[in-house]
Amino acid sequence: MKEGLKSRVVASRKKELYQKSSQYKSAVTSDLNRLKFDLEQVGKNILYIGGTLYVAYKLTKLLSGSSTDDAPGATDEVRKVVTVRETSPMVLKIKEQIALFLLALAFKKLKEFLKENSPNRNEQEDTGDAE
């Protein structure tokens, strides 16, 4: 009789432990899925910001007319003759405005990224406070 009761207690305890185990497993799985989603979002934002900065850099280089193709100290026997011509003040202003626009766009994306990933945002979501 005692052994039958003991086996039922053991079976009940086993069942309880299996249930807790499955609960923990599902909680860990959901946490990993949420972490994976968050990391994907962060990666996308980093790519957007990096791409914007890269395009801004290349456009600035293109518009300013400077080239980094000719490394100083290169051992080419043929020397290039560079003629410097003055650019009009209007062209310089347009180039400056384009560069400022691109930098402002990169700043905006960076600000959005930081706002989305700030720790204060997560606390507000947990408490239910919304701005």
Tens of pLDDT, residue by residue over 11-43, are: 899 999 999 999 999 999 998 888 888 888 888
Determine the pLDDT at residue 103.
85
pLDDT digits (tens, 9 = 90+) for 74-112: 555 777 777 767 778 888 888 888 888 888 888 888 888
CA separation for the pair 62, 60 (Å, rounded): 5
The model carries a pTM of 0.41
CA distances from 69 to 51, 60, 72, 82 (A): 21, 15, 9, 14
Owner of token pair 């053991």: 10
pLDDT digits (tens, 9 = 90+) for 42-68: 888 888 888 888 888 888 888 777 655
User: 113 or 72: whose pLDDT is higher?
Assistant: 113
